[in-house]
């Protein structure tokens, strides 16, 4: 108990010194997060800021923190070429411990609009814009090799995805941070408007965070990408990436109530756990073989 209190104090002092003008960082770090172990070296943390005390708004945040070592669970990509199904369905069908929604997809016809490779096989190619330029969500990737997850940044080349040697690749974004350096975010409405958000972060010690922020509701406003980047930094992530959000944002955990859905997906426009949107791909957390 003493060690935990000391750790919280030191973390609070760090945030106060690192972000002296940012009262939100102090509120965020000092909050009494609900914690529950859900698998080996894997913890679920949740906090509802319900007094308009984070970014002058209500916010509901849920995330998994995975120690990326020893007998910790391994990461996989779950993807369908053209079929859409809820994140929970991907998780249940694969026997996963947990799942989080993945990258952007064709809502009408199914399939990812960003490059997906699973176990060495290309599932979907990147669909470039009409002028052959890349969207911001096509300038980075979540890559998984031997069950270990990391993030990579586009090198500027036209065929970048195919030069990556990792067996599992999910192109997505925008990239928020890489190697402790904030990445440029544009001033368009996608970046500046508050939405439900899904993100992955990596700490210097290798721990991986799978995070959802709920939104589009009085109980949780959602976040801009700039606000999302802040909370990933406050969680200690030196690298972080945004995934598909909005109605897609879903965190699922095996064996939990409400069909395992932890957050409050918005497709039914209700503050409950039944509003999952069907998606094309997910990030899975599975027991180490």
Is 0.85 surpassed by the pTM of this model? yes
C-alpha to C-alpha distance for 147 and 215, rounded to whole angstroms = 31
Segment 220-277, tens digit of pLDDT: 999 999 999 999 999 999 999 999 999 999 999 999 999 999 999 999 999 999 999 9
Sign of CA dihedral 94, 97, 102, 105: positive
Nearest Cα to 74, choosing from 42, 46, 121?
42
Helix (H) or strand (E) holding 145: strand 140-145
Q: What distance, in Å, lies between the first and last C-alpha atoms of the chain?
A: 34
Domain spans of the chain?
1-30, 36-286
Helix (H) or strand (E) holding 213: strand 208-213
Peptide bond into 174 cis (omega under 30): yes
User: How confident is the model at residue 289, as a pLDDT?
Assistant: 85
Strand-pairing partners, residue 64, are 44, 210
97 phi, psi to nearest 5 deg = -80, -35
C-alpha to C-alpha distance for 145 and 122, rounded to whole angstroms = 15
Segment 186-234, tens digit of pLDDT: 999 999 999 999 999 999 999 999 999 999 999 999 999 999 999 999 9
Can you tell me which residue has the tokens 């944002």?
249
| pLDDT-based confidence at residue 11 (cuts at 50, 70, 90) | low
Asked whether 230 and 250 are in contact (CB, 8 A), the reply is no
Asked whether 91 and 231 are in contact (CB, 8 A), the reply is no
9 phi, psi to nearest 5 deg = -65, -45
- Rg, Å, the chain Cα set: 18
Burial of 210 (0-12, 13-18, 19+ CB in 10 A): buried
What contacts 67, CB < 8 A, 6 or more positions away? Answer: 41, 42, 206, 207
User: How confident is the model at residue 69, as a pLDDT?
Assistant: 79
Segment 54-99, tens digit of pLDDT: 999 999 999 999 998 788 999 999 999 999 999 999 999 999 999 9
Q: Give all strands (DSSP E) within 137-243, no chain letters.
A: 140-145, 148-153, 168-172, 175-178, 181-182, 197-202, 208-213, 239-242
């Amino acid at each position: 108990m003493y060690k935990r209190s000391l750790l919280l104090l030191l973390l609070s002092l760090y945030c106060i010194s690192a972000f002296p003008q940012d009262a939100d960082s102090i509120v965020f770090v000092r909050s009494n997060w609900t914690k529950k172990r859900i698998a080996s070296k894997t913890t679920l943390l949740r906090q509802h800021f319900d007094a308009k005390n984070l970014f002058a708004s209500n916010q509901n945040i849920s995330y998994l923190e995975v120690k990326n070592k020893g007998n910790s669970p391994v990461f996989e990509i779950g993807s369908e070429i053209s079929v859409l199904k809820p994140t929970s369905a991907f998780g249940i069908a694969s026997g996963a411990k947990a799942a989080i929604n993945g990258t952007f997809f064709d809502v009408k016809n199914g399939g990812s609009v960003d490059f997906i490779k699973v176990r060495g096989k290309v599932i979907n190619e990147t669909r470039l814009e009409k002028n052959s330029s890349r969207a911001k969500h096509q300038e980075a990737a979540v890559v998984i090799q031997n069950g270990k997850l990391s993030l990579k940044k586009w090198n500027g080349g036209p065929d970048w995805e195919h030069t990556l040697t990792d067996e599992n690749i999910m192109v997505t974004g925008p990239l928020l941070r890489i190697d402790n350096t904030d990445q440029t975010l544009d001033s368009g409405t996608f970046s500046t408007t508050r939405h439900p958000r899904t993100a992955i972060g990596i700490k210097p010690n290798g721990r991986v965070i799978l995070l959802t922020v709920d939104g589009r509701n009085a109980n949780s406003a959602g976040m801009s990408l700039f606000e999302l980047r802040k909370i990933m930094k406050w969680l200690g992530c030196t690298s972080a990436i945004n995934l598909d959000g909005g109605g897609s944002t879903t965190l699922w955990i095996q064996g939990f109530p409400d069909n395992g859905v932890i957050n409050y997906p918005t497709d039914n426009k209700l503050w409950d756990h039944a509003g999952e949107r069907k998606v094309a791909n997910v990030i899975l957390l599975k027991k180490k073989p």
